[in-house]
């Protein structure tokens, strides 16, 4: 006859109790926990405001997707909304000064709590952080595609000509709100978000499209 010790009996009871415990405990609301943590960690300071934590429809959808592709109907709706947000130059002219555009592309400052002004002219474009732009640049990011010879490769010898109109408008839209082409684009929405003003956008346009710009040499 097999003798069951008190210790063995206690172990069996614990095991049975564990099996009887409901396996479907409620899952924590991680989204709510994250939102609470962010709002507790950030505050208004200088020109940097906590309202930046408020996501628009595109940011919310892309954050929730966590890198996965959005359903096509949802992505299309976001692209259409982004396209509608684009504002063309008030005077109908798309190109400014490529020299000012080069300085803007090199400039990575702006929109931090230590900046003294919230005006767009205090911001840089920080383009080299993601792109190669001019042949003389020895340090540049590779998150985005190379923009070297951008205008020349697209046959833009005269940006004001009717034949160049499509690429000019495409480039302006891409700078203004890149989500008009890709719903979850990681490129800054320079115009839509008020990061750069119209004059600055024109200068970046000239850097990319002016035949005299070092981009197209």
pLDDT tens for each residue of 58-88: 999 999 999 999 999 999 999 999 999 999 9
Alpha-carbon distance of 45 to 43, in angstroms, equals 6
Q: Note whether residue 25 is domain-resident.
A: no
Q: Contact, 57 vs 81, CB < 8 A?
A: yes
Q: Note whether residue 175 is domain-resident.
A: yes
Q: Note whether residue 4 is domain-resident.
A: no
Structural domain count, the chain: 1
Domain residue limits at 160? 72-216
Q: Note whether residue 67 is domain-resident.
A: no
pLDDT tens for each residue of 80-134: 999 999 999 999 999 999 999 999 999 999 988 888 877 787 899 999 999 999 9
Q: Note whether residue 197 is domain-resident.
A: yes
Is the per-residue pLDDT at 8 higher than 90?
no
Q: Note whether residue 9 is domain-resident.
A: no
> Can you give the CATH number for the domain in which 184 is found?
1.10.760.10
Q: Note whether residue 42 is domain-resident.
A: no
Phi and psi angles of residue 78, each rounded to the nearest 5 degrees, phi first: -70, -40
Q: Using alpha carbons only, give the angle 51, 200, 86 rounded to the nearest 5 degrees.
A: 65
What is the separation of C-alpha 118 from the centre of its chain, rounded to a whole number of angstroms?
Answer: 19
């Amino acid at each position: 006859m097999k003798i069951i010790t008190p210790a063995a009996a206690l172990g069996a009871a614990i095991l049975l109790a564990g099996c009887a415990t409901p396996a479907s405990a409620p899952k924590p609301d991680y989204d709510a926990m994250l939102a609470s943590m962010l709002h507790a960690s950030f505050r208004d300071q200088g020109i940097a405001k906590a309202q930046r934590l408020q996501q628009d429809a595109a940011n919310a959808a892309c954050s929730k997707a966590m890198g996965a592709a959005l359903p096509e109907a949802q992505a299309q709706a976001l692209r259409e909304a982004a396209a509608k947000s684009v504002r063309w130059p008030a005077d109908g002219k798309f190109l400014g000064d490529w020299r000012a555009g080069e300085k803007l592309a090199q400039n990575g400052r702006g929109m931090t709590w230590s900046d003294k002004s919230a005006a767009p002219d205090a911001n840089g474009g920080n383009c080299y952080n993601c792109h190669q732009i001019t042949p003389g640049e020895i340090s540049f990011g590779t998150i985005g595609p190379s923009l070297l010879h951008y205008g020349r490769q697209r046959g833009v010898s005269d940006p004001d000509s009717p034949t160049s109109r499509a690429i000019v408008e495409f480039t302006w839209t891409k700078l203004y709100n890149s989500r008009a082409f890709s719903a979850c684009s990681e490129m800054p929405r320079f115009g839509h978000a008020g990061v750069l003003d119209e004059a600055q956008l024109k200068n970046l346009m000239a850097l990319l499209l002016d035949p005299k710009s070092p981009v197209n040499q």
